[in-house]
A and B are shown apart, each in its own frame.
Chain A
Amino acid sequence: MKTFFEANIWPLKNKLYRMAYLWVKDREVAEDILQSVFEKAWNRKNELQKMENPMGWMVRTLKNESLQHYRFSKRFESIQDHEPVEESQEKENMEVEVNMVFSFLEGLPDKQKEVFQLREVEGLTYEEIAGYLEISMDQVKVNLHRARKSLKGYLMTRKNEE
């Protein structure tokens, strides 16, 4: 018989990995962050089992870990005083279409970005997105609508450039 962790937390790994990847834009770093989040979740598995929304906790922890990494790498860059080599190399290696998605997402406010990626990349329902991000359904709809409006403008600009 599967434990709560195996049945409910571990299966989130692919979705959470892609979320972290879209935030930090580096596959290796995304895996390191996710590993650390799963370690934390494992240590608090009994608490998680009692939570109403363990997915929300996982996403929140992932976001905090990614933010910490971002702050640390920014500090590291300012100490080193040079361009972030790994990130630029990773971007160069990206496929054109993936890069296009990244450059669009970069221009979106955080909440719109999160809602948009959960809908488009993960194919989640409004209700599921609301649970993952711990926000209301109305907020999901508004943010998704705004993100799509921005996407329409972004694609229109590209069409005109071609």
Chain B
Amino acid sequence: MKNRIEELLDKYWEGSSNLADEKELKDLLQNSEGFEPEKSFFLGISKITAKEPMRLQKPVERSLEFTTWLKMAAAFLVLLISGWVLFDQQKKQAEREAFEKVMQAFDLIQVNMEKGTNSLQIMEEFKHLGVTEELFNIQENKE
């Protein structure tokens, strides 16, 4: 058995052993005397191979729920933003329309004011009515 172990070990160190050789070597080492460092090392390897996760969870359900919530939140956000943009645009449009109406009203007032001012132009002539009396110092005798 010792010769077989040495033969397999040589193949192992040279890198020419296959998986079956390596399994045989590890099995033989565990049941033989000597080769203590090799035996301990391969025992350590097999102890690591036996280790498995204890609390790992398959992410299926939780992630599905999470992505669904994420999609819903994203859709809600898109709706909220587009609603706000629409509301803002309508508000600006209403303000613009109100401004235009006020300006039209001002225009109307201005036009009518001009008309009124022109019709009052004739009143300017009345100030010349007493000019003759003033020039010749004519005083009306009412007696």
* A interface residues (Cβ-Cβ under 8 A, vs B): 5-6, 10, 13-14, 17-18, 21-22, 27, 30-31, 34-35, 38-39, 41-43, 95-101, 104, 120-123, 125, 141, 144-145, 148-149, 151-152, 155-156, 158-159, 162
Contact A34 B53 (CB under 8 A): yes
* Closest Cβ neighbor of B63 among chain A residues: A42
Is the pair A13, B53 in contact by a Cβ cutoff of 8 Å? yes
A-B pairs with the 8 shortest C-beta distances?
A97-B44, A101-B44, A145-B15, A155-B37, A42-B59, A17-B53, A158-B37, A97-B43
Residue pair B52, A121 in contact (C-beta under 8 Å) = no
Q: Are A22 and B53 in contact (CB under 8 A)?
A: no
- 21 residue pairs bridging A and B, Cβ less than 8 Å apart: A10-B58, A17-B52, A17-B56, A18-B49, A22-B48, A27-B54, A30-B53, A31-B55, A35-B59, A38-B56, A38-B59, A42-B60, A96-B40, A96-B44, A98-B47, A101-B44, A121-B49, A123-B19, A141-B15, A148-B12, A158-B37
Q: Determine the residue in chain B with the shortest Cβ distance to A145.
A: B15
Contacts of A149 in B (CB 8 A): 13
Complex-state Cα separation, A42 to B65, whole angstroms: 12
In the bound assembly, the distance between CA atoms of A150 and B114 in angstroms comes to 108
Interface residues of B (CB under 8 A from A): 12-15, 19, 22-23, 36-38, 40-41, 43-45, 47-49, 51-60, 63, 67
Contact of A101 among B12, B48, B53, B55 (CB under 8 A): B48
Which one of B53, B60, B67 lies within 8 Å of A14 (CB-CB)? B53
* Contact A155 to B48, CB < 8 A, known contacts A13-B56, A35-B57, A162-B36: no
Q: Are A31 and B41 in contact (CB under 8 A)?
A: no
Docked-complex contact B13 and A121, CB < 8 angstroms: no
Q: Is the CB of B44 within 8 A of A21?
A: no
Known: A35-B56, A38-B56, A148-B13. A17 touches B43 (CB 8 A): no
The docked-state distance in angstroms from the alpha carbon of A18 to that of B51 is 7
A98 touches B19 (CB 8 A): no
B44 with A98: CB separation less than 8 A: yes
From known contacts A141-B15, A145-B15, A162-B36, infer whether A98 and B48 are also in contact, taking CB-CB under 8 Å. Answer: yes
